[in-house]
Amino acid sequence: MRPRIATLDFARGIAIFGILLLNISSFGLPKAAYLNPAYAGQPSGVDAWTWAVLDVLAQGKFLMMFAMLFGAGLHLLLPRGKAWIQSRLSLLLLCGLIHAVFFWDGDILLSYGLIGLVFWRLVREAKSNQTLFRTGVMLYLMGVAILLMLGLISKPDPGSFWNPGYAELQYEQFWRFKGGIEAINNRLDLLSSSLISVAVQYGWELGGAMLMGASLMRSGWLKGQFNVRHYLGVAAVLLPLSWIIQIPAVAIAWHTGWDYRWSGFYLQAPREIGALMQAMGYLALCYGCWPWLVKQRWALWMSQVGRMALTNYLLQTLICDFFFNTLHFYQHFNRLQLLALVPAVWLINLTVTLCWLHYFRQGPMEWLWRQLTAKAAGEPANSGR
């Protein structure tokens, strides 16, 4: 196995933990609540402020951060060859499909595997690092442009997915609690909508972020080969600039009462641009602060979490599905209360990670993924346990 990049693992751990800040509302609230705080009427002040702060600091940022790290991982896999990469991504896609259909409708693994299969060749074929980065930026901006176009052609009335009625909310609670075929059928419906979104718009952004991440790895930026002053300078520029772009959009969305067209499309576009800038700013901050972080025990623990990113992501689903659906705590908490539950899930992630890696070199899902990839690619797998 190749030597691990501790800073890369740390950033991956931060991304996995950060994703849960938004995902927790998908577990504990109706699906419409993810982007629309006014899904059930005018939200309380606490709910609205929680949404606004999370939208500025977390919404889309950690997903893009993880996408860039995913692209960096694709670059590192290039020496393994076509068969290994395609087998690995196909298995991730299959894992995501199982996760989305049988466990949770908010899965990202299927999208990452699918987009990875489409775009990894661009990582391999890019003639220069600059070309790779520019292509990534162009694809990302294409996704943002498509978002604006969808806003122009969308119907004024969004329907129940944005503003569900009482009957829709009750039915969503019913199938979440009941599980079985009822839940699978509904997850399949949601999956089909998600795949259409990926194909039409979101996939361009995801692929663009992956290419940028691959470029940053190829240049040595994500290997930590630049000086601390450079990384901190990038963070000092990108983070404030991203907030300057996003905060007015969030404020206007609030002012319009989270109108479907404005909040879902027109004002989402600057927030998407800001999310990418902020994701890169967060990465720069991780690398710029690493000489100090490496001396902190918690940062080394976070690197361990990043080593088991797939396992920890799936573990979050198992924990939240059990708590909200099996124990029936779904719709029992507001956004701020849900946010207060996040550290408890993080603690479980961290405890499982440290205990597992005390005895094994890889997480259980990472080990299985590697073994199955080797078999599918027709290559021997070095034991990671």
Cβ atoms of 19 and 107 closer than 8 Å: no
- pLDDT value, residue 358: 95
- pLDDT value, residue 384: 42
Q: Indicate the SS3 state at residue 39.
A: strand
Concatenating the DSSP letter of every residue in 180-226 gives HHHHHHHHHHHHHHHHHHIIIIIHHHHHHHHHHHHHHHHTTGGGT-S
Give the DSSP H/E element, type plus range, for residue 263: none
Side-chain-facing half-sphere of 9: CA atoms under 13 Å? 20
- pLDDT value, residue 1: 52
- pLDDT value, residue 200: 92
Cβ atoms of 346 and 20 closer than 8 Å: yes
Amino acid making up residue 328: H
pLDDT tens digits along 12-31:
999 999 999 999 999 999 99
∠ CA(113), CA(114), CA(118), 5° rounding?
115
Concatenating the DSSP letter of every residue in 281-317 gives HHHHHHHHTHHHHTT-HHHHHHHHHHHTHHHHHHHHH
User: pTM of the predicted model, to two decimals?
Assistant: 0.94
Q: Rg for the chain (alpha carbons), in Å?
A: 20
**Furthest CA-CA distance within the chain:** 59
- pLDDT value, residue 4: 78
Alpha helix (H) residue ranges in the chain = 6-28, 45-57, 61-77, 82-102, 109-125, 129-153, 166-178, 180-197, 203-218, 228-255, 260-261, 268-288, 290-293, 297-307, 309-321, 335-359, 364-377
Q: What whole-number distance in Å separates Cα of residue 53 and Cα of residue 216?
A: 29
Amino acid making up residue 312: N
Residue with tokens 């924990």: 319
DSSP state of 370: H
> Phi, psi at residue 262, to the nearest 5°?
-70, -50
- pLDDT value, residue 385: 43
- pLDDT tens sequence for the chain (385 residues): 566 789 999 999 999 999 999 999 999 999 999 889 999 888 999 999 999 999 999 999 999 999 999 999 999 999 999 999 999 999 999 999 999 999 999 999 999 999 999 999 999 998 899 999 999 999 999 999 999 999 998 887 777 778 888 899 999 999 999 989 999 999 999 999 899 999 999 999 999 999 999 999 999 999 999 999 999 999 999 999 999 999 999 999 999 999 999 999 999 999 999 999 999 999 999 999 999 999 999 999 999 999 999 999 999 999 999 999 999 999 999 999 999 999 999 999 999 999 999 999 999 999 999 999 999 988 876 644 4
